[in-house]
Chains A and B, each alone.
Chain A
Amino acid sequence: MPKLTAKLRSKVRSARSKVALLVGTKKGGFILKADGARRSFELQGPFFLGNSVHHIVLDPRDRRTLLLAARTGHLGPTVFRSTDLGKHWKEATRPPAFAKVPEGEKGRVVNHVFWLAPGHASEPGVWYAGTSPQGLFRSTDGGDSWESVTGFNDHPMYRAWTGGEQDGTPDGPKLHSILIDPRDGAHLYLGMSSGGVFESLDRGGSWAPLNQGCEADFLPLNTGIEYGHDPHCVRQHPLAPDVLYQQNHCGIYRMQRPEGRWERIGKAMPKQVGDIGFPMVLHPRDPRTVWVFPMDGTSVWPRTSPDARPAAYVTRNAGKSWKRLDAGLPRKNAWFTVFRQAMTADARDPIGVYFGTTCGEIWGSRNEGAKWACLARHLPHVYALEAVELGR
């Protein structure tokens, strides 16, 4: 049987399913559904209006189950689950929560569930959740009940690795970027803001920092320290799992395993733009192609597009050089930011790249960033975008 090209596979997929964006916002969840050509998009929702929805993720193992992380300003954090692509939702019977401590001690309390990650393909029903403050939780029943991953949450170095609440983001310290090696479900990575990147080879039973080569210019010792870094977004290539990238508070990095040293590839970015940002998106088939969305990380960290002229940047040679992608984007006075979960890519050919902004717009490009169009506006602050394929 002849091998299908990526373009042909994309056409076949287009006939069977449509691209959709799962949108988490400060005020609820939405689904933005594309037509077959990805030219027009239809907005559905909101669901859980008034809840902060930090992440919505489709289970790639059944392509029907959605998990959604939610909290309101006043009620506690929880996870909702849908097994019919969002038509009906059911709350987790036991949401992620830290262990209760003895009377008189100060225990940790989950403020919000920030990150959801399906487990390995060979482990149906397994999910991981990362929380604020930093906590790692696992479900083995499809997200209905969650257990603390004690190998991390109760690790003797937990306090040293994570720092205090003052070391977190303005919205609280976060555990994010939970990565499961597609070759081995016991091999995990995670990122923490702050804390750094950590690796486990035993399904979360034990952990070790993986930050060598990464800078931390907010600490007295900028280099050579083991932990305390601030990765904003860490990605592992699905077809080349030894290739890791991270958009860090201190630049853009790449690591080729088994070596354990980060190389700062953001040095090749234009000096006036810099290599600070939140999100990072990998090409699903080409491990040398990566998109980032820089922000102003100078002086007091405005966290807006540099010079109010937003642009994505792409490298097609693993960071040796970068190309600005701003066709169709505002040329001036655009003071938004793109959060770490709010940029994503589909798997079509050419790749569709999408991002959501802090001012409630969703932008997309169906030609890998060559030309952008605004797909939705006037939404709440966009926290998260995930591109998925939904069946007809």
Chain B
Amino acid sequence: MRVLIPTPLRSYTGERAEVAAEGASVRELLLDLDRQFPGFRFRMIDEQDAVRPHMRVFVNGEQTLSLDTPLASSDEVQILQALSGG
């Protein structure tokens, strides 16, 4: 499926803003992204499997907070760095 990558994580994707990855859930998708782009997952998911503060995951435009959210191959996943600070 199509995954949109925010600028802070593009150093892992060879500066690509959009990549393809697979997975039946957000958790599996992130594991696939980490396989393709080592180090990617830990920068946005902490060791307790929580999405780090300021990072957001949207599936077809809807925000999800759970890594267990199911995915279909036709879905579009967008990873965003939320606006914070001033």
Contacts and interface: CB of A to CB of B under 8 A. Distances in A.
A15 interface: no
Interface in B34-76: 38-39, 42-50, 52-55
B85 interface: yes
Contact of A100 (B42, B47, B52, B55): B47
Contact of B39 (A93, A97, A109): A93
Contact of A74 (B46, B50, B84): B84
A99 B45 CA distance: 14
Nearest to B12: A91
Main secondary structure of the interface of B (DSSP, over half): loop
A143 to B, nearest CB: 14
Contact of B81 (A74, A101, A108, A109): A74
B5 interface: no
A348 B41 CA distance: 44
Contact of B48 (A72, A92, A95, A100): A100
B9 interface: yes
Contact of A107 (B39, B47, B52): B47
A98 B43 CA distance: 14
Task: Give the interface centre of B39, B50, B84, B85 by most chain A CB atoms within 10 Å.
Answer: B39
A222 to B, nearest CB: 37
B8 interface: yes
Contacts of A108: 48
Interface residues of A, number: 20
Interface residues of B, number: 20
Interface string A220-257: 00000000000000000000000000000000000000
A78 B81 CA distance: 18
A97 B8 contact: no
Interface of B: 8-9, 38-39, 42-50, 52-55, 81, 84-85
29 contacts: A74-B8, A74-B52, A74-B55, A74-B84, A75-B8, A75-B43, A75-B52, A76-B42, A76-B43, A76-B44, A76-B46, A76-B52, A78-B42, A91-B39, A93-B38, A97-B46, A97-B47, A98-B47, A98-B48, A99-B47, A100-B47, A100-B48, A106-B48, A107-B47, A107-B48, A108-B48, A109-B50, A110-B46, A110-B47
